[in-house]
Copies of this chain bind each other. A is one copy, B any other.
Amino acid sequence: MREINIGLLGYGTVGTGVAKLLIENKEILTARVGAHLNLKWIADIDTETERGIRLPDGILIKDAHKVVSDPEIDIVIEMIGGEGIAKDLIVKTIENGKHIVTANKALLAGHGNVLFAAAAKKGVDLAFEASVGGCMPTIKSMRESLVANHINAMTGILNGTCNYILSKIADEGITFQEALAEAQKHGYAEADPTLDVGGFDTAHKIAILTALAYGMEINLKDVFVEGISKITPLDIEFAEQFGYRIKLLAISKYENGRVEARVHPTMIPFDNLLASIKGTVNAITISADAVGDILLYGHGAGMMPTASAALSDIVDIARNILSGAVGRVPALSYQQENIRRIPILPIDELVTHYYLRFSALDRPGVLSTISGIIGKYGISLQSVHQKGRKMNGAVPLVMLSHAAREADVKRALNEINALDVVSNEAVLIRIENEKLD
């Protein structure tokens, strides 16, 4: 039986999952692939901690460079993370003519263009299914299943930590800080949660998907990012009254040559399936011309789901090697020479619906002053709700706008925030009204 030699870099959570699948699910892998996927090396600085897997003697070593330069190794799995040593090792792997599988979204979002070009030039695969959406077959579906489609839009819940926190706030009426503490207690959030709750992890993912969907270079720096730390139970409660749930969404659209790519808390109607996605799971809707909408749902993180995604890449590459295929599917779906540089729309030019909440003193004329300013900037309102309940002497005044330009909304809010009769900064939450096709 033929053998494919695999070297694993990083024996942390996901690395352990990869080793576990290669060893414990060996029989089913062999039955399907028709070859032996041999885990030849695992490199990690920590060779002592017990991970609960029986490894063959001597395969766990400290020297990652030994792995990427071993001529017998066919595929290298990078599960170190970060943009430092991981990047150097990926570059070295490509230079050595080996295929590489990674889950490193931060690295790809920041340096993917260079790395993909290097891999294409060398004729090796750089596979990254595990970098977005864990076990949801996101990359494969876009690159292979939807290959004959023009992809028009993607809307995703791509960070389980944020979705868990927002679900907690919604279900239990607790504050963001309390929900974050819960998430940390259960191991769903890091001690420093900024990457997740700040929306940056989600931005890495949508930057990669945006490139893949529309055939463009990855452009992380122009993806708009707003995190969830300002979401309050009060806004979630108002949202529910209007028939919306608040989710941290990654939104990407392509229309008339213009690309939107943004990450922010978003109100979506109850009957959008994404509104029903609770807890740590992920889901994404992909809209395309032939299929309409498809939706994928699954665990977006965690040891085994992420390892399963990495294994799908490993097997894809193994099947290429076994069947004699070279350069079968380009990393970003499009042939390298067809990848364009398309600017991402600045957030100020976004046109969408807005939820605006003001803390207004309960005095005559306040509503008229505020709505006057809104009208001055050409923003029309679909509804206005003033609730009797006072908070610190102020009354929440909630407005839902028709489609408006973000720059105009911001200018109006600046003027309103400066009013004496307004006590706190206005809350702005964007609304997505599109239904699944």
Contacts and interface: CB of A to CB of B under 8 A. Distances in A.
Interface in A398-437: 436-437
Interface string A300-314: 000011011101101
A101 to B, nearest CB: 12
Contact of A25 (B33, B34, B150): B150
A325 B334 contact: no
Given A32-B330, A329-B319, A333-B32, A148 B299 contact: no
Query: Which of A28, A338, A437 has the most chain B CB atoms inside 10 A of its CB?
Result: A28
Contacts of A149: 25, 28, 308
A289 B299 CA distance: 12
A308 B28 contact: no
Interface in A140-181: 140-141, 144-150
Contacts of A330: 32, 34
Contacts of A388: none
Contacts of A315: 144, 147-148
Contacts of A320: 323, 325, 328
A320 to B, nearest CB: 7
A195 B15 CA distance: 47
B33 A147 contact: yes
A291 B319 contact: no
* Most chain B C-beta atoms within 10 Å of own C-beta, residue among A33, A137, A146, A327: A137
Contacts of A215: 31-32
Interface in A305-357: 305, 307-309, 311-312, 314-316, 319-320, 322-330, 333-335, 338
A157 to B, nearest CB: 13
A25 B148 CA distance: 7
Given A308-B290, A320-B323, A335 B129 contact: no
A273 B298 CA distance: 12
A374 to B, nearest CB: 36
Contacts of A382: none
A293 interface: yes
A277 to B, nearest CB: 8
Contacts of A307: 148, 290
| A31, A129, A150, most chain B CB atoms within 10 A | A31
A370 interface: no
Contacts of A311: 147-148, 290
Interface string A224-241: 000000000000000000
Contact of A273 (B273, B305, B312): B273
9 contacts: A25-B148, A32-B333, A144-B315, A288-B308, A289-B304, A290-B307, A319-B325, A319-B328, A320-B323
Which 10 A/B pairs are nearest by Cβ-Cβ distance?
A: A148-B311, A325-B325, A137-B145, A294-B298, A295-B297, A135-B291, A323-B325, A290-B308, A31-B338, A323-B328
